[in-house]
Amino acid sequence: MSSGSDLLKLAPVMPVVVVDELDHAVPIARALLAGGIPVIELTLRTPVALAAVERVATEVPDMVVGAGTVTGPDQVKQAVDAGARFLVTPGCTDPLLDAAMDSGVPFLPGASTVSEAMRLAERGLTALKFFPAEASGGVAYLKSIAGPLPGLRFCPTGGITADSAPTYLALPNVGCVGGSWLTAAKGDFAEVERLAREAAKLG
Pick one of 13, 16, 42, 149: the residue that binds ligand ELE (CB under 6 A): 16
Within 13 Å of residue 36, how many CA atoms lie on the same side as its CB? Answer: 13
Pick one of 31, 85, 179, 193: the residue that binds ligand ELE (CB under 6 A): 179
Which listed residue (9, 21, 41, 77) is catalytic? 41
Going by C-beta distance under 8 Å and a sequence separation of 6 or more, which residues neighbour residue 19? Answer: 25, 28, 42, 43, 46, 48, 49, 52
Nearer to ligand ELE, 63 or 70 (CB): 70
Binding segment for ligand ELE among 32-40, 59-67, 100-108, 158-166 (CB under 6 A)? 158-166
Q: How far is CA 104 from CA 2, 33, 53, 114, in A?
A: 9, 25, 17, 26
Pick one of 180, 191, 198, 200: the residue that binds ligand ELE (CB under 6 A): 180
* Minimum distance of ligand ELE from residue 123's CB (angstroms): 19
Q: Does 68 engage in binding with ligand ELE (CB under 6 A)? A: yes
**Residue 158: Cβ within 10 Å count:** 21
State how far the Cα of 139 lies from the Cα of 54, in Å rounded to an integer. Answer: 35
Residues 99-138 that bind ligand ELE (CB under 6 A): 131
Nearer to ligand ELE, 58 or 154 (CB): 154
* Minimum distance of ligand ELE from residue 88's CB (angstroms): 6
Number of H helices, E strands in the chain: 9, 9
**41 classed as catalytic:** yes
* Minimum distance of ligand ELE from residue 147's CB (angstroms): 26
Burial degree of 171 (CB within 10 A; 0-12, 13-18, 19+) = middle
Which listed residue (77, 129, 191, 198) is catalytic? 129
Binding segment for ligand ELE among 2-10, 47-55, 59-67, 172-180 (CB under 6 A)? 172-180
For 71, list phi and psi in degrees, rounded to 5: -115, -10
Helix (H, G, I), strand (E, B) or coil at 107: strand
Q: Does 75 engage in binding with ligand ELE (CB under 6 A)? A: no
Residues in contact with ligand ELE by the rule CB under 6 A: 16, 43, 68-69, 88, 90, 131, 157-160, 178-180
